[in-house]
Amino acid sequence: MSLEGKVAIVTGSGRGLGLSYAQELARQGAAVVINDVDAGVAAEAVESITAAGGQAVAVVAPVGSTETAMALVAAAVENFGRLDILVTNAGVLRDKSILKMTDEDFDLVINVHLRGTFTCVREAYAYFKENGIAGRIIAIGSPTGQRGNFGQTNYAAAKSGIVGMVRTWALEMKRAGVTVNAVIPVAATAMTKTVPYFAKAVEAEERGEAMPDFFRKTLGFGTSDDVAGLIAFLASDAAGNVNGQAIGAGGDRLQLWSHPEAIESEFNDGGWDYATLQERFPFAGNLQSVGENFPELPAELQPEPAAK
Ligand SMILES: NC(=O)c1ccc[n+]([C@@H]2O[C@H](COP(=O)([O-])OP(=O)(O)OC[C@H]3O[C@@H](n4cnc5c(N)ncnc54)[C@H](O)[C@@H]3O)[C@@H](O)[C@H]2O)c1
């Protein structure tokens, strides 16, 4: 089933995962609006798609504002006559532990990821509703948003917020036939290349070799292209009954994430007052873990010690 005749916007698609998503959507037949803050990479992305026989234009503007969201939808309609698919992928990191994180670090990350997703989705959905289009919205989360991660207060807030919005939008947009899903990717990109834990995988990719199985299978860590198939699938008619889901992809692995559920309920006549809880906190034996659990790397895949 092809995406021929469909039109997509992919934010932050000048490089990394967004570029792979845009190229795959174009390979499957969709015309694509590329978006990035970096004009150079945006132009190269358009060129890579048109050189392969696809259709693409670029909008160079920072997502976050309503103006950019409007410009993106307008570019889709003016250049290709319609809009069917929105992928909100643009992102930045400003990692610091909380005492070092400034207001600016917090606001920037929230603005690009959370507000950028909100404003683009609101604009796309208004267009879908007005034109009776059973559109596809794919928002990008992160394992950090699902589980928390040291040094990523701003990013965790934004990414868990995005999945929270997806759950809400899946309810609000269902009657219009629009689906909204979150993809939780993991891949070697500029964002992850500097993490020492992934160094051997990134080096293998840069040499043009396949990444070791430990990364692709045990960690679910691979290339940007590994995630792109899922994006195109969720954008297709075949995924019409997939709504409100959070689906992880990376390397050889695909994962279905649960949404938070109450896992234990305890009742006390008259309620749980301070004194009762002091005496009997019922969940002490069932406290939940936080953070991702990274297994130790096999010796041959350990990063080289940093030069002194
Ligand atoms: N790489 C991973 O393993 C990983 C894991 C989880 C989530 N993600 C998410 O996937 C998305 C893409 O990440 P990536 O690793 O490809 O990053 P990347 O840094 O390689 O690419 C992000 C792109 O977004 C652009 N951008 C930044 N701010 C923008 C803005 N305001 N408006 C438009 N474009 C903007 C950048 O110029 C860049 O080209 C992000 O949302 C990221 O949080 C990535």
Instruction: Give CATH for domain 7-257.
Output: 3.40.50.720
SS3 250: strand
With contact defined as beta carbons under 8 Å apart, do 140 and 182 qualify? yes
Residue from 17, 95, 149 to probe ligand 1 pocket by mutation (most atoms less than 8 Å from CB): 17
SS3 12: coil
Q: Is 159 a catalytic residue?
A: yes
**From the alpha carbon of 38, which atom of ligand 1 is closest?**
37
Would you list the domain boundaries of the chain? 7-257
Q: DSSP string spanning 142-179?
A: -HHHHH--TTBHHHHHHHHHHHHHHHHHHHHHGGGT-E
pLDDT of residue 306: 65
184/144 Cα distance (integer angstroms): 9
Q: Is 155 a catalytic residue?
A: yes
Checking phi first, is residue 132 left (phi over 0); if not, alpha (psi -120 to 50) or beta? left
The token pair at 250 is: 């990376």
pLDDT of residue 304: 82
User: What does the pLDDT look like over 244-255, one tens digit per residue?
Assistant: 999 999 999 999
Please list the alpha-helical segments (H only) found in 1-152.
Answer: 16-27, 39-51, 66-80, 103-109, 116-131, 143-147
Mean per-residue pLDDT for 177-202?
Answer: 91
**From the alpha carbon of 144, which atom of ligand 1 is closest?**
6
Q: How confident is the model at residue 92 (pLDDT cuts 50, 70, 90)?
A: very high
Mean per-residue pLDDT for 203-208?
Answer: 89
Pocket of ligand 1 (CB under 6 A): 11-12, 14-18, 35-38, 41, 62-64, 89-92, 112, 140, 142, 185-187, 189-192
User: What does the pLDDT look like over 139-157, one tens digit per residue?
Assistant: 999 999 999 999 999 999 9
Q: Which of 19-28, 69-78, 183-192 has the lowest mean pLDDT?
A: 183-192
pLDDT of residue 307: 57
Q: Is 224 a catalytic residue?
A: no
Checking phi first, is residue 293 left (phi over 0); if not, alpha (psi -120 to 50) or beta? beta
